[in-house]
Amino acid sequence: MKPFDDNAEQYRFWNELAGPLWVANQDEMDRLTGPFGEAALANAAPRPGERVLDVGCGCGSTTLALARAVGATGAVLGADMSAVMLQRAAEQVASADVGNVTLQQKDAQHDALGTHEFDLVFSRFGVMFFADPFAAFANLASALRPAGRVVFTCWQGPGANPWMSLPERAAMAYFELEPPAPGGPGPFSLADPDHITSVLERAGFRDIAIEPAVRELSLSGAGDLHGWAEHRLVMGSTRKHYLESSPEQQLQARSKLIEAVAEHHGPEGLRLPGAAWVVSALR
């Protein structure tokens, strides 16, 4: 797949940096995001026979959960930009006993996803990375049948998510960088409920509901803070600086992150709150 210009940076990120890291840590990522995905799945309540689009399906764990819920008479399309994550999704599907999943490498903002084909468009944290969210959600709306529903999770703002913002702030300070301009694609791009509402309304959705889901996240075992810090540094906006640093600087950067969360680290490891929105709407 050749990336579209406006999403090319995210394409590279999810194919070359975050994607391989996500695949290597898939169980851990599923453990962290699972409770939020389950809240969204409960809200979406997929029924036997339904056709579902899983947007930004990544390694396919929610795609499989959806496939089991809709059963043999239903079908699920998992669409994602990341070839490496789709490869893992294909492995998961192959080893599960389901015959109703299709996986496709797509840019969900630009590529055709079908016209009025789906009863449900679902996503666990896969809809915050579009250069143009208005165009992307209009594209998702056109893939839904009339009165079809969209249900997704996205992160609330940095203040409600110290598990991301504390290490990010420490990394920015270490590399002496200014915070990135707000509003671009990234984990917090749909943090503001007013923005979510305007994106969905402009795409033609109605009956919009935005519910909080807050969980305490257990981020590492007691001894594995360097692995945790490395993960945050590669997933965060200092990734380029971190990856281009010397091994000594990388060690110092990881140590700064570990210092920044020291008060949240106890005998049971590192624990911090995470807060998402579960968003639903009808076409």
Ligand X SMILES: C[S@@+](CC[C@H](N)C(=O)[O-])C[C@H]1O[C@@H](n2cnc3c(N)ncnc32)[C@H](O)[C@@H]1O
Q: Which of 46, 56, 162, 236 binds ligand X (CB under 6 A)?
A: 56
Question: How far apart are CB 59 and ligand X at their closest, in Å?
Answer: 6
Q: At what angle do helices 61-70 and 83-95 cross, to 10 degrees?
A: 40
SS3 of residue 271 by DSSP: strand
Residues sharing a CB contact under 8 Å with residue 78, sequence separation 6 or more, in sequence order:
54, 57, 60, 63, 86, 89, 101, 102, 103, 104
Considering only 101-109, 162-170, 205-213, 264-272, which stretch makes contact with ligand X by CB under 6 A? 101-109
Contact present, 98 and 127 (Cβ < 8 Å): no
DSSP conformational letter for 13: I
Give ∠ CA 147-153-158 in degrees, rounded to 5: 140
Q: Which of 124, 231, 241, 254 binds ligand X (CB under 6 A)?
A: 124
User: Within its chain, how far is the Cα of 129 from the centroid?
Assistant: 8
Name the residue nearer to ligand X (CB basis): 87 or 197: 87
The answer to whether residues 84 and 23 touch, using CB atoms and an 8 Å cutoff, is yes
Smallest distance, Å, CB 266 to ligand X? Answer: 27
The answer to whether residue 161 forms part of the interface with ligand X (CB under 6 A) is no
Residue found under tokens 């399309």: 77
Residue 122 touching ligand X (CB under 6 A): no
Structure tokens at 158: 């940095």
Q: Min. distance of Cβ 69 from ligand X in angstroms?
A: 16
Report 199-258 residues binding ligand X (CB under 6 A): none
Is 139 one of the binding residues for ligand X (CB under 6 A)? no
Please state the closest distance from residue 90 (CB atom) to ligand X, in A: 13
The interface mask with ligand X, positions 67-96, x = CB under 6 A, is: ------------xxxx--x-----------
Residues of this chain that bind ligand X (CB under 6 A): 7, 10, 14, 29, 33, 37, 56-59, 61-62, 79-82, 85, 106-109, 124-126, 129-130
